[in-house]
């Protein structure tokens, strides 16, 4: 089983590398694959031919996303789109790790995957862009609004 991982040098990337020690992991740090470059994404992911891809690359500084919204849309939105296009070419499912920032926080109970989204900051908007691009019918993997700290707590 070959699993590709974008954002491999980030916090989640490191946690995934620890958890997936029993599969052939193909790590893509930013210097190996800049997800904002569609041609590069297509070429590198096609060459790697993974069975599925975990997309953990993102611009995650929530405050900086407010002052640099174009960068947030480019990295988080268009970057996810580029990865989804590249994976679609080789019929490789994409696992997108989204964020609770796609919600407005007004629900008086825990959110589930089917709740209405309503981002209230640029980071949330950019992550919702990513969800929209990755949940095309062509992506057989879909997405997962996962609770990331649960993964990090694994030993
Ligand atoms: N942290 C949380 O609590 C949390 C909660 C829910 C969801 N998430 C989601 O989990 C994912 C990973 O988060 P994280 O905490 O691991 O973030 P992180 O530590 O900031 O890691 C993000 C990674 O993305 C890379 N990256 C940034 N721009 C890139 C580009 N243009 N091309 C390729 N790679 C690029 C970064 O590379 P550099 O190191 O070179 O900058 C970094 O390695 C994100 O989608 C985030 O929205 C995180």
Query: Backbone phi, then psi, for 78, in 5-degree steps?
Result: -65, -35
Q: pLDDT of 92-118, one tens digit each?
A: 999 998 999 999 999 999 998 889 999
Cα separation, 130 vs 121, whole angstroms = 15
Catalytic residues: 123
Strand partners, 144: 97
Residue 34's domain spans which residues?
Answer: 2-152
Question: What distance in angstroms lies between residue 138's CA and the mean position of ligand 1's atoms?
Answer: 24
Q: pLDDT of 47-94, one tens digit each?
A: 999 999 999 999 999 999 999 999 999 999 999 999 999 999 999 999
pLDDT for 145: 54
Cα separation, 133 vs 150, whole angstroms = 25
Cα separation, 116 vs 26, whole angstroms = 34
Q: Which residues line ligand 1 (CB under 6 A)?
A: 6-7, 9-13, 30, 33-36, 56-60, 75, 79, 97, 99, 127, 148
Question: What distance in angstroms lies between residue 47's CA and the mean position of ligand 1's atoms?
Answer: 23
pLDDT for 139: 56
- What domain count does the chain have? 1
Closest ligand 1 atom, residue 34 Cα = 32
pLDDT for 154: 46
Question: What distance in angstroms lies between residue 56's CA and the mean position of ligand 1's atoms?
Answer: 6
Q: pLDDT of 31-50, one tens digit each?
A: 999 999 999 999 999 999 99
pLDDT for 146: 53
pLDDT for 113: 81
pLDDT for 20: 82
Check which CATH number belongs to the domain holding 112 and give it.
Answer: 3.40.50.720
Model-level pTM?
0.91
Mean pLDDT of 125-145: 75
């Amino acid at each position: 089983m070959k699993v590709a991982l974008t954002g491999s040098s980030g916090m989640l990337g490191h946690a995934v590398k620890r958890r997936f020690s029993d599969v052939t992991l193909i790590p893509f740090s930013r210097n190996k694959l800049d997800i904002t470059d569609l041609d590069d994404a297509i070429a590198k992911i096609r060459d790697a031919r993974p069975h599925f891809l975990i997309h953990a690359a993102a611009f995650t500084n929530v405050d900086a996303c407010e002052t640099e919204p174009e960068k947030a849309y480019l990295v988080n939105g268009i970057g996810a789109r580029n990865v989804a296009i590249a994976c679609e070419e080789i019929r490789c499912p994409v696992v997108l790790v989204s964020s609770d920032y796609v919600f407005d926080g007004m629900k008086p109970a825990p959110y589930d995957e089917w709740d209405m989204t309503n981002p209230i900051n640029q980071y949330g908007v950019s992550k919702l862009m990513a969800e929209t691009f990755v949940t095309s019918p062509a992506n057989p993997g879909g997405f997962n609004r996962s609770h990331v700290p649960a993964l990090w707590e694994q030993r």
